[in-house]
């Protein structure tokens, strides 16, 4: 039985574990639902590692976003236990002391435009036209995002996402 206390303990441990493995150069991705049915907070180690962010604020945002891997997607949620796409990115940057707009559409106009070839960890990446989805680039061709109902916050390959619409650097 999961209580508020065990949920908090699991979340704290998961955040520490994510920070530790990210610092060691290991990326995390959630297990498929069939493999993690007994523990929705379970994550698996992936092959590629996130690259270091270009500055402290971007690194805090990346670390904060990665600490949410496995948390549920809930439309309109801004954390700390569930997120939608722009809720995750605004939550991560708020932890870094930077306030960004709340919606993906508004976030897509905030900061400095960045070419896809020049992405750095912490950059916001946008999808669809008009923009309706945002994630955070973490380096090595990967991003972290809260995608849709039924899927937890996850790390995915940027190129696996449809309809890339651009990127912005906010830190």
pLDDT digits (tens, 9 = 90+) for 85-103: 999 999 999 999 999 999 9
DSSP 163: S
- Say whether 81 is catalytic: no
What sign has the CA pseudo-torsion 149, 145, 77, 72?
A: positive
- Which among 14, 65, 86, 145 is annotated as catalytic? 145
pLDDT: is 25 or 108 the higher one?
Answer: 108
Binning pLDDT at 50, 70 and 90, where does residue 51 land? Answer: confident
C-alpha span between 109 and 3 (Å, rounded): 41
Q: What is the mean pLDDT of the chain?
A: 82
The predicted model gives 67-81 an average pLDDT of 98
Calpha distance 111→93 (Å, rounded): 12
**Residues 76, 83 contacting (CB under 8 angstroms):** no
Catalytic site residue from 85, 100, 144, 161 = 85
Report the 10 Å Cβ neighbour count for 98: 18
CATH topology for 4-169 is endopeptidase fold (from Nostoc punctiforme) (3.90.1720)
Active site residue 22: no
Residue 12 pLDDT exceeds 80: no
Give the number of other CB atoms < 10 A from CB of residue 17: 13
Structure confidence by residue, pLDDT tens digits, 121-142: 999 999 999 999 999 999 999 9
Is the pLDDT assigned to residue 148 strictly greater than 90?
yes
Task: State yes or no: is 64 an active-site residue.
Answer: no
């Amino acid at each position: 039985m999961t209580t508020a206390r065990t949920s908090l303990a699991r979340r704290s441990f998961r955040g520490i574990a994510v920070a530790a493995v990210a610092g060691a150069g290991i990326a995390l991705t959630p297990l498929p639902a069939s493999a993690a049915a007994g523990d929705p907070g379970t994550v698996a180690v992936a092959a590629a590692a996130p690259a270091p962010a270009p500055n402290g604020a971007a690194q805090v945002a990346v670390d904060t976003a990665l600490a949410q891997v496995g948390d549920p997607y809930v439309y309109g949620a801004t954390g700390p236990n569930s997120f939608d796409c722009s809720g995750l990115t605004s939550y991560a940057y708020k932890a870094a002391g930077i306030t960004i707009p709340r919606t993906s559409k508004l976030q897509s106009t905030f900061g400095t435009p960045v070419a896809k070839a020049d992405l750095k960890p912490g950059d916001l990446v946008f999808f669809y036209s008009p923009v309706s989805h945002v994630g955070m680039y973490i380096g090595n061709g990967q991003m972290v995002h809260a995608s849709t109902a039924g899927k937890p916050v996850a790390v995915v390959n940027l190129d696996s996402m449809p309809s890339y619409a651009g990127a912005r650097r906010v830190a």
